[in-house]
A and B are shown apart, each in its own frame.
Chain A
Amino acid sequence: MNFKQPIRYIFLLVAITGIGLACQKNFLDKNPLDQLSGATFWKTQGDADLALTGCYSFFTRGSNATGVTAAGSGWGGGSMFWDAISDNAYTTSSGGNFGGISTGAIEAATDTSITNMLGNAYVTSYKAIAACNNFLDNIGRVPLDAATMNKYIGEARFLRAWYYFLLTQLYGDVVLTLHPLTNDRSSATLPRTAKKIVVDSLLADLDFAAANLPNTAYAGHAVRGAALGYKARVLLANYRWQEAAAVAQTVMTENKFSISTGGYRNLFLKPGQNANPEIMFSVRYQPPNLASPQDWLFSYTNSVQVLKYLVDEYDCIDGQPITTSPLYNAASPYDNRDPRLKLSIIIPGAWRGTTAATAFNPVTHAVPSGFLPRKGIDSTRFPTTYATQSDQDWVFLRYADILLMYAEAQNEAVGPDNSVYTAINSVRARAGISMPALPAGLTQADMRTRIQHERRIEFALEGQRFFELKRWRLDRTVIPAVRDPNNSFRTFPLRDTLWPVPQSEMDIANSYGNTGYKQTPGYN
């Protein structure tokens, strides 16, 4: 055998092997190419901005209007669904299963899904809380001056409070954690903390936010006014009237916000929402990157239909309810009514779009309730499609709410004094609405009814009614009295005042032996 010849090839082999193995020094060290490494994060203010924006982004869960199911889960621009489980509206939508929830089809044991709102509100809230906790535990590593640092902390604590408030409203006692959890056993075996302790904790967050956020008008980031407004809302929901009145009073005194003079409807549409002095906090959208689903969802798929109960609640322009007002004419029932009716609700014959061809007909449009929402619906986009991308912000808090919260708290704490009248009348006298002032001499109970009425009208279809009924303990009496267009009454056993936690959470707690974690009473 000739051994010389192969030697050439051996060199070739060595060369090929060498190229393969030695071309990269750190052949086995591979790091993520499109994500930020945790090891190098929290170094600059830019990192803090990224992380804070991440915390805000949870408001837009389900925002992308690429499909009804993705959009319809009740977050951000889908928040109108919350009215559908009150006496304001009706839905059969499976989006977030609000259709099922509205009829009282709540069965913790068989409802293991966390994709519907019963579970999604729980899971998504805790994801947001985890992002806030992580932010709060790490922001100290970024070199910032004290004031800037406290502003960052204030925003994160405001957001954390927002989600804990939602949790306590829906589930009562919930797991309370103010620091990031891990995968160890102690993290996995936390009990549900008493609601009162959770509320105290979130009020402390709001206090810190109020003390450290800029006291300016709202421009996207949370400000002191938003923190105070939410504090008032939390106090009210927990029947702490005197404190609530004081906090609302503070907002009024500091005078950073006012009732909009640009028209009621423009509070809910762009560009009227931009720099609107009344808006104190909202979920923001910017198509095409981040679009709201609301035009498509609420104007076209009929997924939320307004109930006649709400329509009848609107008074005549003389300030009298339709049952007593001489201005009410059953033949033309929508004339001479509180202007907010036609600004908020599409009545039969009203144009859904911009021409007569789009006139609303409940029969041909298969809307058995007879009415559709108009608030926050941009008629220039009609007919909308699955591809319609809305730019409207969803308003969470506005100055009218501060006034009405003040009125409610002051009426409960002190009685219907002058300041109560002033507050509620300044909402009724809004430019373009001009409803007459309330008659003098109302009793505290009368005033309570008037305030409840005013809130229902002013905030109709803004996702508040369900929580207000809860606050007034009216949910258990009002909701079972609702007769849906399918002619059946809703059910609302007392246990439904709080929701069950997802069955999957119970299963996990059981398998960890976490006995402190119990199902909401009535759902076992």
Chain B
Amino acid sequence: MESSGYSTIAGKHLRPLLLIIALLVQILFSPHLYAQSSTVTGTVKDAKGVPQQGVSVNVKGSTVNTATDAAGKFTIPVADPQATLVFSHVGFLSFEEKLAGRKILDITLNEKPSDLNEVVVIGYGTQKKADLTGAIATVSGADLNKRVATDPTQLLQGKLPGLSLTQASGEAGNENSVLRVRGLGTYSSAGSTPLVIVDGIPGSLTALDPQNIASVTLLKDAASASIYGTRAANGVILVTTKQGVNGKFQLSYDYNIGITRPTSLPDLVYNSVQYMQLYNQAAANSGTPVSLRFTQAQIDAYANATDKSLYPNVNWLDLVMRTVNTQTHHLGLTGGRNGTTYNLGLGYVDQPDIMIGFSYKKYNLQFNLNSKVNDAVTFGTSLTFNYGKRVYPRQGSQDQFLSTLSQSPLYGPRLLDGSGRYTFAAYPFQTPNKNPVAIAENALASNNDFYMQGNIFVAVKILKDLEWRTSGGFNFDFQKIYDYKPVINQYYWNAAPTDLPVRTLDVGGQGLTVTDNSYIYPVVYSQLTWNKEIGVHHFKVLGGTQAEYNKAQSLSASRTTYPSNNVQEINAGGAGAQSNTGTASEWSLLSFYGRLNYDYDEKYLLEANARYDASSRFPPNNRWGLFPSVSVGWVASKEHFLDKISWLGNLKFRASFGTLGNQNIGNYPYQSVYNTGYAYPYTDAALSSGAIQTSLVDTHIKWETTRVFDLGADIGLLNNKLNVTFDWYNKLTYDILSGQVLPSYVGLAAPIINNGRMRNTGIELSAQYSDNIGKVHYSVGGNIQANKNTLLKFGTTSIGATTIIKEGQPYGSFYLYEFAGIFQSAAEVTASPTQPYTPVPGTFKFRDEDNSKVIDAGDRVIVPGIFPKFDYSFNASASYKEFDLSFFLYGSQGQKQYVNGWGMQPFNQGSVPTKDWLNAWTPQNQSTTLPLIYITGTGNVSSNLSTVSTYYLRDASFLRLKNLQLGYTVPAHIAKHLAMSSLRVYFAGDNLLTFSKFPGLDPERIATNTRYVTHPQNRVFSFGVKAVF
């Protein structure tokens, strides 16, 4: 699937890197001067006196190490009698002992407290992992940052069971990852995107620098999420940024360079003669006039050309796709004293794109401060500033890609006469889409995004057990979008200097449009927490109130005529043709929330949550909604009767039930409005304003509600070396707010009503095993999640171009004619049921599902595959001495993609066919998989072959090696010479291998339309350094 050209390009970039690496390796491994003068021996036991095998023993600051034998004994050579030995063992706390001249040591290792004592972030607070009763998944910042990405969202893929993440594309700064917690929760415009809370306030994950993240928690079920009430229906992602640590000032620096190229590209016919012959064949099949085909003389000119620059075989994919280097820098400063801690992170990302014209730069500042004023009062702040600059051809990456495929190999991007004029086509009848090189060099838009999120909090201990915490924060986003549309002329390949342009580059108009979009989103909450232990009874009660307000504004101005493409500000344009638009909208939310936790001896757990929310989006009489939940847990492993089962470290059963809401449905959905913007000029003098009602409204709409039932278990086995978590859920969303299906003759858009009902059921299973083999510490694990979506109530069935929304089926299932083969003869056509568009041999036959002898609307069938059956991931890591190796596999099974157009169908706007088409159907070569070659969009043959059928439905299941990493931690004594307290270097590869049946391009994609071409994902070879000073 990969073109051979790439390895050489990558090779060019790799060479200098390899040199650097070789040098480094040489420095690091050069023999050092420590003599091995004496040996130290000893025994390692646990607290109960049991000898421990496989304990790693290391001379601190050196590479010298060994491991204990079955009797717990070790022998290690030590040069310095004052050296320190470090003992480490899975499940035990690491232990250091100074030799102080001793030659024999007896060591007792203490068991590591299980990670159940770990505290996790939950809604409006924290909780011990052991006490959790809801379905919660967490991942640490350290684990996330094993991979490198500019947008932390991407790093969540496969890390949080229950969260499915699909990266829409590899476009720099515009990856548009789609997140779903436990399936598609609703089909309404309220959306299925989880709520993201950053340091307690609704915020943006994308705007963060991944290096500043301390942990991410996913709240999956109603019990854990209902404290977020109205916006928690699709799950909640809680992000906590890194706080400072009391102690000495520490400086760290991270650097990564990633050599980036597309994961896969289609293999196209870039031989001009072949292209022309195939085109003529297609034109004949499609009934295109002979005058609109290549003449034999034209073909011969390319076939017999002595001047190959004039008659080239241009590979446009090579001109547009490239290998680039992405660089990320992160500088961290942390420390604290006297109760005040700080953490400062500075990040910079320079990300050119694998497609010409696109690039992204991101500058990030994170500042966190916490201060304990006295015993009772703490305050703090966390602030994120992010500036992102994205440059892109204004019509987007899909358009750029399809324009590329639309160019034939007969000409290059610029004329050969040195005039710099851009090529349109070689021959008049060719009508390719816009020249992508001209676009990339001239018609770029830019989005300058200034984002800020921050909050301050004050926490006061009013009484010993009672804390009052108030926090206020805001998000502010300001985007300035420059969209300049130059007039670029395009000429024929062989145009004389005086020839008129054939046409201008289609950049969708002319002139400059500058748009300012902004929103301000302040949030404030205040809460009381009461914590009380009475013997074995432990109570925790939380109550609070929150208010939110959001105002979005936009203002846009444009002028059409510009004297030169060099001046791209509004005032430089002619004032004759100028226009402006502007708008604003707002919403608000007022809430009360509370939680009760009770546990009996940390064995029987109970939690209840409730939130009472009011939203400005609903009519006054339906404004308030209550969202309660309850969950229980039983820590069975704490029961005496299970004490004796030594291999069982932890066993907990959980159950939860509750409701969640969704209010995110447009700002004024119940209000009848007259939309402005329907102007008409009765006279030449003035444009009269006009307003019409465009849609019906339901003045009684109310909240969309999601009810979740969850059963789960957490199991720790073999000294908690193996940890397993399992959850089953049944999530029912009802009163779904969505447009009714109405006939077009009503003339107005259907109102949004509470009507639908949809169910998602599924399981999540994750397991992780960690252990040692000798000196090798390793960990393997994986998770799998399967979800089934069923639409229970929708009302009138709605049928789209390729999909159907029908009760009893997954939402938006494929609904297509069934491809039944390729007609091999005229006789077969005659003998078959009447097919659309008068087929000929070599075109498609469709199945007559209803036996009506005519292929008509009744022959469409529902085809499964709109959602994956399951997603899964597998991780493994191992470390040996200074080396560590890890890999991460991610897969998705059972999803299909409907793909057509450029790249899939031949000669769509002249698009270059894939090499498969060399084996297209002909009377001599009776293919059963490829039809006759044709010109897409012309005549009955194309209409037949473009009919929405299962032919274009392709299996998009995939398994990919998402990440592979090899790291080396430089021994401390060497790092010390470099003035560092630690230094790690690593090589990593992203998307190195993909297993999929999907043809040509990347299977991981979001189907925003049915087009085959989408910006490919990136394959990255990266090298990184992590230094702490």
Contact = CB atoms under 8 A, between A and B. Distances in A.
Interface string B596-617: 0000000000000000001111
Given A10-B462, A32-B673, A35-B676, A509 B583 contact: no
A288 B510 CA distance: 11
Contacts of B587: 30
A38 B671 contact: yes
Interface stretch (A107-115, A201-209, A450-458): A107-115
Interface string B496-537: 001011011111111100000000001011100000000000
A52 B680 CA distance: 10
B684 A50 contact: no
Contacts of B463: 3
Nearest to B462: A6
Given A36-B674, A53-B690, A188-B743, A28 B590 contact: yes
A380 interface: no
Query: Which of B288, B577, B743, B857 has the most CB atoms of chain A within a 10 A radius of its CB?
Result: B743
B376 interface: yes
Interface in B545-577: 545, 547, 549, 560, 577
A12 B458 CA distance: 9
B50 interface: no
Given A219-B683, A220-B683, A109 B678 contact: no
A20 B674 contact: no
Interface stretch (B203-211, B645-653, B702-710, B937-945): B937-945
B202 to A, nearest CB: 14
B584 A110 contact: no
B487 interface: yes
B501 A35 contact: no
Contact of A30 (B507, B668, B855): B668
A426 to B, nearest CB: 29
A498 interface: no
Nearest to A63: B680
Contacts of A145: none
Nearest to A65: B509
B676 A36 contact: yes
A243 to B, nearest CB: 28
Contact of B682 (A19, A123, A175, A221): A221
Contacts of B859: 109
A172 interface: no
B528 to A, nearest CB: 10
B291 A485 contact: yes
Contact of B742 (A363, A368, A508): A508
B116 interface: no
B308 interface: no
Contacts of A363: 291, 428
B748 interface: yes
Interface residues on B, range: 35 or more
Contact of A288 (B506, B547, B560, B742): B560
Interface in A441-498: 484-488
A21 B750 CA distance: 36
Interface in B361-420: 374-377
Given A28-B614, A112-B801, A300-B503, A175 B745 contact: yes
B644 interface: no
Contact of B616 (A29, A126, A183, A300): A29
Nearest to B456: A16
Contact of B547 (A27, A49, A180, A290): A27
Contacts of A27: 547, 549, 588, 590, 616
Interface stretch (A253-261, A279-287, A401-409, A417-425): A279-287
A436 interface: no
B856 interface: yes
Contacts of A17: 470, 524, 526, 545
Given A175-B745, A290-B681, A485 B836 contact: no
Contacts of B503: 300-301, 383, 385
Contacts of B857: 108-109, 503, 506-507
B681 A286 contact: yes
A68 B247 CA distance: 66
B317 interface: no
Contacts of A220: 681-683
A17 B506 CA distance: 54
Interface stretch (A127-135, A227-235, A244-252, A330-338): A127-135
A512 B678 CA distance: 32
B691 interface: yes
A54 interface: yes
B740 A183 contact: yes
Contacts of B836: 107, 109-110
A32 B590 contact: no
B520 to A, nearest CB: 14
Interface string B766-781: 0000000000000000
Contacts of B798: 507-508
Contacts of B747: 126-131, 133, 181
A387 B672 contact: no
B104 interface: no
A192 to B, nearest CB: 9
B693 A387 contact: no
Query: Which of A30, A56, A284 has the most CB atoms of chain B within a 10 A radius of its CB?
Result: A30
B460 A6 contact: yes
Contacts of A67: 506, 508
Nearest to B469: A13
Nearest to A487: B289
B468 A10 contact: yes
A168 interface: no
Given A37-B671, A286-B681, A113 B801 contact: yes
B753 interface: yes
Given A30-B586, A60-B680, A5 B673 contact: no
Query: Which of B461, B579, B859, B940 has the most CB atoms of chain A within a 10 A radius of its CB?
Result: B940
A488 B584 CA distance: 55
Contacts of A59: 680
A66 interface: yes
A21 B547 contact: yes
A366 B429 contact: yes
Contact of A31 (B524, B671, B947): B671
A51 B798 CA distance: 31
Given A126-B747, A505-B743, A386 B673 contact: no
Interface of A: 1-3, 5-6, 9-10, 12-13, 16-17, 19-21, 24, 27-39, 41, 49-57, 59-60, 65-67, 92, 94, 99-100, 103, 105, 107-110, 112-114, 122-123, 126-131, 133-134, 174-175, 177, 180-183, 187-188, 190, 219-221, 270, 274, 284-290, 300-301, 357-358, 363-366, 368, 383, 385-387, 389, 391, 484-488, 502-509, 511-512, 514, 517, 524
10 contacts: A10-B460, A10-B462, A20-B472, A53-B678, A56-B690, A110-B836, A112-B948, A182-B746, A286-B684, A289-B681
Closest 10 CB pairs of A and B: A130-B747, A387-B510, A38-B672, A220-B682, A53-B690, A20-B524, A54-B692, A366-B428, A286-B681, A385-B504
